[in-house]
Structure 1
Amino acid sequence: MSEPREHRIKRMKMRSMRRGIKEMDLILSAYADRNLDGMDAAGLDLYDSLLHENDQDLYQWVTGQADVPDAYGALISDIAQTFQK
Protein backbone atom coordinates (compact mmCIF):
# COMPACT_ATOMS: atom_id res chain seq x y z
CA MET A 1 0.00 0.00 0.00
CA SER A 2 1.38 3.40 -0.93
CA GLU A 3 1.70 6.24 1.53
CA PRO A 4 -1.19 8.76 1.36
CA ARG A 5 -0.11 12.12 -0.08
CA GLU A 6 -0.87 14.09 3.09
CA HIS A 7 1.14 11.64 5.24
CA ARG A 8 4.02 11.76 2.79
CA ILE A 9 4.11 15.57 2.84
CA LYS A 10 3.94 15.62 6.64
CA ARG A 11 6.80 13.11 6.85
CA MET A 12 8.93 15.10 4.42
CA LYS A 13 8.28 18.34 6.29
CA MET A 14 9.44 16.64 9.50
CA ARG A 15 12.58 15.31 7.77
CA SER A 16 13.22 18.81 6.42
CA MET A 17 13.13 20.25 9.96
CA ARG A 18 15.25 17.60 11.63
CA ARG A 19 18.41 17.34 9.57
CA GLY A 20 21.69 17.50 11.46
CA ILE A 21 22.98 20.91 10.51
CA LYS A 22 20.90 23.79 11.88
CA GLU A 23 21.32 25.78 8.67
CA MET A 24 19.82 22.94 6.64
CA ASP A 25 16.96 22.62 9.16
CA LEU A 26 16.11 26.28 8.54
CA ILE A 27 16.60 26.22 4.76
CA LEU A 28 14.74 22.98 4.05
CA SER A 29 11.91 23.51 6.52
CA ALA A 30 11.19 26.94 5.00
CA TYR A 31 11.28 25.46 1.50
CA ALA A 32 9.09 22.49 2.46
CA ASP A 33 6.49 24.70 4.15
CA ARG A 34 6.23 26.94 1.08
CA ASN A 35 6.35 24.33 -1.68
CA LEU A 36 5.52 20.71 -0.85
CA ASP A 37 1.73 21.09 -0.83
CA GLY A 38 1.81 22.37 -4.42
CA MET A 39 4.20 19.78 -5.83
CA ASP A 40 3.14 17.00 -8.17
CA ALA A 41 4.12 13.36 -7.53
CA ALA A 42 7.35 13.65 -9.53
CA GLY A 43 8.38 16.75 -7.59
CA LEU A 44 7.69 15.01 -4.31
CA ASP A 45 9.70 11.98 -5.46
CA LEU A 46 12.68 14.19 -6.29
CA TYR A 47 12.48 16.12 -3.01
CA ASP A 48 12.14 12.85 -1.07
CA SER A 49 15.29 11.60 -2.81
CA LEU A 50 17.08 14.85 -1.95
CA LEU A 51 16.28 14.33 1.73
CA HIS A 52 18.46 11.21 1.67
CA GLU A 53 21.54 13.23 0.70
CA ASN A 54 24.24 14.26 3.17
CA ASP A 55 23.69 17.62 4.89
CA GLN A 56 27.22 18.84 4.17
CA ASP A 57 26.67 18.17 0.46
CA LEU A 58 23.25 19.82 0.49
CA TYR A 59 24.58 22.90 2.23
CA GLN A 60 27.42 23.26 -0.29
CA TRP A 61 25.01 22.82 -3.21
CA VAL A 62 22.50 25.37 -1.88
CA THR A 63 25.19 27.94 -1.10
CA GLY A 64 26.98 27.43 -4.43
CA GLN A 65 30.18 26.07 -2.86
CA ALA A 66 30.01 22.81 -4.84
CA ASP A 67 28.62 21.59 -8.14
CA VAL A 68 25.09 20.21 -7.96
CA PRO A 69 24.34 16.79 -9.47
CA ASP A 70 22.32 17.21 -12.66
CA ALA A 71 19.30 15.38 -11.24
CA TYR A 72 18.94 18.01 -8.50
CA GLY A 73 19.94 21.12 -10.46
CA ALA A 74 16.54 22.79 -10.82
CA LEU A 75 15.40 21.78 -7.33
CA ILE A 76 18.55 23.10 -5.64
CA SER A 77 18.24 26.33 -7.63
CA ASP A 78 14.64 26.70 -6.40
CA ILE A 79 15.68 25.96 -2.79
CA ALA A 80 18.55 28.47 -3.03
CA GLN A 81 16.16 31.17 -4.29
CA THR A 82 13.77 30.46 -1.39
CA PHE A 83 16.69 30.63 1.03
CA GLN A 84 17.87 33.98 -0.33
CA LYS A 85 14.44 35.66 -0.05
Structure 2
Amino acid sequence: MTGTTRTSAELDPRRRRILFRAWHRGIREMDLIFGQFADNELRLISGADLDEFEAILTEDDNDLFKWISGEKALPEHLNTPLFARITAFRPEEAFRPDAAST
Protein backbone atom coordinates (compact mmCIF):
# COMPACT_ATOMS: atom_id res chain seq x y z
CA MET A 1 0.00 0.00 0.00
CA THR A 2 1.40 3.35 -1.00
CA GLY A 3 -0.74 5.66 1.06
CA THR A 4 -1.90 7.56 -1.99
CA THR A 5 -5.58 8.21 -2.40
CA ARG A 6 -5.24 9.60 -5.92
CA THR A 7 -5.23 7.70 -9.17
CA SER A 8 -2.26 8.09 -11.48
CA ALA A 9 -4.27 7.11 -14.57
CA GLU A 10 -4.33 10.66 -15.94
CA LEU A 11 -0.59 11.21 -15.43
CA ASP A 12 2.05 10.82 -18.12
CA PRO A 13 4.68 8.08 -17.54
CA ARG A 14 7.26 10.47 -16.09
CA ARG A 15 4.82 11.87 -13.53
CA ARG A 16 3.73 8.34 -12.62
CA ARG A 17 7.36 7.41 -11.89
CA ILE A 18 7.82 10.54 -9.80
CA LEU A 19 4.60 9.85 -7.88
CA PHE A 20 5.77 6.31 -7.16
CA ARG A 21 9.16 7.60 -5.99
CA ALA A 22 7.52 10.24 -3.79
CA TRP A 23 5.52 7.52 -2.01
CA HIS A 24 8.43 5.06 -1.73
CA ARG A 25 11.13 7.07 0.00
CA GLY A 26 12.39 4.59 2.58
CA ILE A 27 11.37 6.64 5.61
CA ARG A 28 7.64 6.76 6.26
CA GLU A 29 7.71 10.44 7.28
CA MET A 30 9.23 11.31 3.92
CA ASP A 31 6.67 9.10 2.14
CA LEU A 32 3.93 11.14 3.77
CA ILE A 33 5.49 14.54 3.09
CA PHE A 34 6.55 13.95 -0.51
CA GLY A 35 3.77 11.52 -1.41
CA GLN A 36 1.00 13.79 -0.24
CA PHE A 37 2.64 16.81 -1.85
CA ALA A 38 2.88 14.86 -5.13
CA ASP A 39 -0.73 13.69 -4.85
CA ASN A 40 -1.84 17.29 -4.53
CA GLU A 41 0.59 19.12 -6.83
CA LEU A 42 2.07 16.76 -9.43
CA ARG A 43 -0.67 17.19 -12.05
CA LEU A 44 -0.14 20.95 -12.17
CA ILE A 45 3.60 21.33 -11.61
CA SER A 46 5.54 23.04 -14.44
CA GLY A 47 8.34 21.42 -16.43
CA ALA A 48 11.14 23.23 -14.60
CA ASP A 49 9.59 22.50 -11.21
CA LEU A 50 9.11 18.89 -12.25
CA ASP A 51 12.84 18.65 -13.00
CA GLU A 52 13.61 20.20 -9.62
CA PHE A 53 11.17 17.94 -7.76
CA GLU A 54 12.77 14.92 -9.39
CA ALA A 55 16.21 16.16 -8.29
CA ILE A 56 14.98 16.76 -4.73
CA LEU A 57 13.77 13.17 -4.60
CA THR A 58 17.38 12.02 -5.14
CA GLU A 59 18.47 13.64 -1.88
CA ASP A 60 19.02 11.51 1.22
CA ASP A 61 15.87 11.07 3.32
CA ASN A 62 17.61 11.78 6.61
CA ASP A 63 18.98 15.05 5.26
CA LEU A 64 15.61 15.99 3.74
CA PHE A 65 13.86 15.39 7.04
CA LYS A 66 16.39 17.55 8.90
CA TRP A 67 16.11 20.35 6.33
CA ILE A 68 12.30 20.28 6.33
CA SER A 69 12.10 20.18 10.12
CA GLY A 70 14.65 22.98 10.46
CA GLU A 71 17.03 20.78 12.43
CA LYS A 72 19.74 21.35 9.82
CA ALA A 73 20.46 24.44 7.71
CA LEU A 74 19.06 24.22 4.20
CA PRO A 75 21.77 24.01 1.52
CA GLU A 76 21.76 26.81 -1.03
CA HIS A 77 20.81 24.52 -3.95
CA LEU A 78 17.53 23.71 -2.17
CA ASN A 79 16.72 27.26 -1.17
CA THR A 80 14.09 27.53 -3.90
CA PRO A 81 10.41 28.44 -4.15
CA LEU A 82 9.52 24.78 -4.84
CA PHE A 83 11.31 23.49 -1.75
CA ALA A 84 9.61 26.23 0.27
CA ARG A 85 6.25 25.02 -1.09
CA ILE A 86 7.08 21.45 -0.08
CA THR A 87 8.13 22.58 3.39
CA ALA A 88 5.00 24.71 3.83
CA PHE A 89 2.63 22.07 2.43
CA ARG A 90 0.06 20.93 4.97
CA PRO A 91 -1.84 17.88 3.72
CA GLU A 92 -4.53 18.25 6.36
CA GLU A 93 -5.49 21.52 4.66
CA ALA A 94 -5.24 20.23 1.09
CA PHE A 95 -7.38 17.17 1.75
CA ARG A 96 -10.02 18.60 4.08
CA PRO A 97 -13.51 17.61 2.89
CA ASP A 98 -14.62 21.25 3.05
CA ALA A 99 -11.51 22.56 1.21
CA ALA A 100 -13.26 22.35 -2.16
CA SER A 101 -16.01 24.67 -1.01
CA THR A 102 -13.67 27.42 0.27
Same fold (TM over 0.5): yes
How many residues align structurally? 81
Root mean square deviation of aligned Cα: 1.6
Mark the structure with the bigger radius of gyration.
2
Moved over 3 A (4+): none
2:34 is aligned with 1:31: no
Stretches of structure 1 that go unaligned for 5 or more consecutive residues are: none
Shift of 1:70: 2.0
Shift of 1:72: 1.7
2:99 is aligned with 1:80: no
2:51 is aligned with 1:49: no
Shift of 1:68: 1.4
Shift of 1:29: 0.3
Letter matched to residue 76 of structure 1: F
TM-score where L is the length of structure 1:
0.85
1:19 to 11, 18, 25: 25
Identity %: 33
Q: Which has the higher helix share?
A: 1
